Structure formats: C-alpha cells, structure tokens
Amino acid sequence: MAIQARRRAQADQAPAVIRFLRETFEELRKVVWPTPQELYRYTLVVVVTVSVIALFIFAVDSGLSQLAQHFIYKK
C-alpha cells in the first residue's frame, strides 16, 4: 500500500510526457494478447465479412446503375 502511494506521489511530480508513457506501459501489461490461432480466426472473420459487404455494395451499385441507365439515361 505504501509503495503504491509513493509511486503515485512520484508519478504526480513527473513531467506529463513521462507520466503518460509510464501509464501507457502499465496499461499494456494488463492487455490479454490473442493466441496465434485466435489471431488467425479473427483475421479470417474480418476478411470474409469485408468481402461479403464489398460484394453486397457492388451488387447494389450495379443494380442501381442499370436502373438509372434504363429509366433515366435512355439511350
């Protein structure tokens, strides 16, 4: 308890940039990093989701373009 209070008192006296970096490193120690298998799975989910959304947007854009050419921009 006294050590934490002493650290806190010392941290308050440190310049803002040093205090920011120290607190950032303390927070990074608390992070639970994903395993390689989890990282692979999450990456795969993101790539598949982005691909599906891109295909959907492409299909809607193509459909609206065809409708506009047929009804608005008659050739």
Query: What is the model's pLDDT at position 13?
Result: 72
* CA distances (Å), origin 39, targets 48, 63, 65: 14, 36, 38
Note down the domain range covering 44. 33-75
For residue range 46-64, list pLDDT tens digits in order: 999 999 999 999 999 999 9
Same domain for 26 and 38, yes or no, is no
Same domain for 53 and 23, yes or no, is no
For residue range 2-44, list pLDDT tens digits in order: 566 566 655 567 788 999 999 999 999 999 999 999 999 999 9
Same domain for 24 and 45, yes or no, is no
Same domain for 56 and 72, yes or no, is yes
Total number of domains constituting the chain? 2
pTM: 0.59
Same domain for 27 and 41, yes or no, is no
Same domain for 39 and 25, yes or no, is no
Distance CA 2, CA 33 (A): 31
DSSP state of 34: P
Q: Are 11 and 19 in contact (CB under 8 A)?
A: yes
